């Protein structure tokens, strides 16, 4: 059978940010765009997925070629991107390839950050917009529900989302290796760099007791502290407040060491040698790497965090292989359900068609042979009906034997339709 599904799109792998921005759809204008797209030639149902990393148009179409052409023309008009330039950036999928792509996107296998958890929520959000706009019908609804199910299976049956793949989340992972439970810990942020703020955000989410901020600019310290419902402390008292913290994050633009070996020793004396973690996200570094040789001082810089991220990415890639198998199972299952829905009317029509062929030949015989005895006529009609059944039976049996292979079943269905001229009305 033909799935009548088509998708076009561009993403972070095929198009630079400038092109993605021009092709994107403003959330407030999206319902109007959907209602306009569904009126284009060959489009029967549609939804649009538009984020900073991808723009995709997915439609149920009358035929793939016409649907792809209509969607590309629509995107070209809305983005004002030159046709040839846009065409070079676009990917196009139809039929089972389109199903597979939708399932992979929902399962975060096509994301910039492999395994990111946010993508499923984004897909659901754009699905809901299309539902509200009235551009999704039974077909795309079934497809998206199947995609959501596949994504949930991937989350449930793999560990693809359990490994830290950002520098900030890697900082949390390293701190947990030292302290285990981070609840009750105190954090000192030195500076106001973006990465330091992100690391502190992740640490704050673990339930740490307090966040303090030291910055050469008291105003910047107060603003960042307010963000974490924390406390701004004097930059000049760095030693004092580091000694009162279990985790110290440095993220400044300074070209000098803020914590040298001697200061680290002083901090440890004030801490009575209890463990402390320095996470130095600054480049150049703000903490002397040699402090890590002091007992109970644990020092990590951006390379250490990067190593954690790379190791975890490797783990995610391993899990992705399992996730791909799950997606393939779900794609086959979805297509098989569609094929089975298509098969029932074909079976009935095949039986009827063979019966009609036999009946035409029997009527021709009666017309040529002249009047027959009523009893003899009934017996001939019963015999012809049985012959029709015997012709149809092996064809139907063979069709049902392909249930395990959707592609083979689809090919066999198409062959039967072509030979016996079935479902002509539905295809016109």
Among residues 40, 32, 42, 39, the alpha carbon closest in space to that of 6 is found at 42
Gap between the Cα atoms of 213 and 287, Å rounded: 17
Separation of alpha carbons 179 and 122, rounded Å: 35
| Radius of gyration of the chain from its Cα atoms, rounded to whole angstroms | 33
123 phi/psi in degrees, rounded to 5? -60, -45
Residues in the chain: 428
Q: Is 80 a catalytic residue?
A: no
Distance in angstroms (rounded) separating the CA atoms of residues 245 and 279? 12
Per the listing, tokens 């009935």 go with 348
Structure tokens belonging to residue 274? 């209890």
| Upstream peptide bond of 284 is cis (omega within 30 degrees of 0) | yes
Residues annotated catalytic, as ranges: 52
């Amino acid at each position: 059978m033909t799935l009548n599904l088509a998708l076009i799109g561009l993403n972070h792998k095929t198009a630079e940010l400038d092109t993605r921005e021009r092709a994107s759809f403003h959330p407030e204008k999206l319902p109007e765009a959907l209602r306009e797209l569904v009126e284009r030639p060959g489009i029967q149902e549609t939804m649009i997925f538009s984020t900073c990393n991808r723009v995709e148009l997915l439609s149920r179409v009358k035929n793939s070629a016409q649907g792809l052409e209509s969607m590309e023309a629509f995107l070209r008009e809305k983005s004002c991107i030159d046709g040839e330039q846009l065409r070079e950036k676009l990917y196009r999928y139809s039929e089972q390839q389109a199903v597979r792509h939708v399932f992979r996107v929902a399962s975060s296998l096509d994301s910039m950050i492999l395994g990111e958890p946010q993508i499923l929520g984004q897909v659901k959000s754009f699905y809901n917009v299309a539902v509200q706009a009235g551009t999704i019908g039974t077909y795309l609804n079934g497809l998206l529900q199947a995609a959501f199910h596949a994504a949930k299976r991937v989350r449930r049956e793999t560990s693809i989302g359990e490994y830290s793949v950002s520098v900030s989340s890697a900082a949390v992972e390293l701190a947990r290796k030292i302290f285990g439970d981070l609840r009750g810990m105190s954090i000192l942020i030195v500076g106001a760099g973006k990465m330091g703020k992100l690391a502190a955000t992740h640490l704050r989410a673990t339930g740490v007791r307090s966040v303090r901020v030291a910055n050469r600019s008291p105003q910047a310290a107060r603003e960042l502290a307010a963000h974490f419902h924390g406390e701004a402390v004097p930059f000049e008292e760095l030693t004092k407040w580091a000694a009162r913290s279990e985790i110290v994050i440095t993220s400044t633009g300074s070209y000098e060491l803020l914590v040298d070996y001697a200061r680290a020793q002083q901090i440890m004396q004030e801490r009575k040698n209890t463990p402390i973690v320095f996470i130095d996200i600054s480049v150049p570094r703000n903490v002397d790497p040699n402090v890590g040789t002091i007992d109970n001082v644990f020092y990590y810089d951006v390379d250490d965090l990067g190593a954690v991220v790379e190791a975890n990415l490797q783990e995610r890639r391993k899990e992705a292989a399992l996730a791909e198998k799950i997606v393939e199972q779900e794609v086959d299952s979805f297509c098989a359900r569609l094929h089975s829905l298509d098969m029932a009317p074909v079976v009935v029509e095949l039986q009827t068609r063979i019966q009609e062929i036999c009946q035409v030949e029997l009527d021709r015989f009666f017309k040529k042979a002249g009047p027959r005895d009523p009893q003899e006529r009934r017996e001939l009609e019963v015999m012809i009906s049985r012959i029709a059944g015997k012709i149809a039976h092996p064809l139907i049996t063979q069709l049902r034997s392909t249930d395990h292979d959707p592609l083979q079943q689809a090919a066999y269905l198409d062959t039967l339709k072509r030979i016996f001229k079935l479902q002509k009305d539905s295809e016109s």
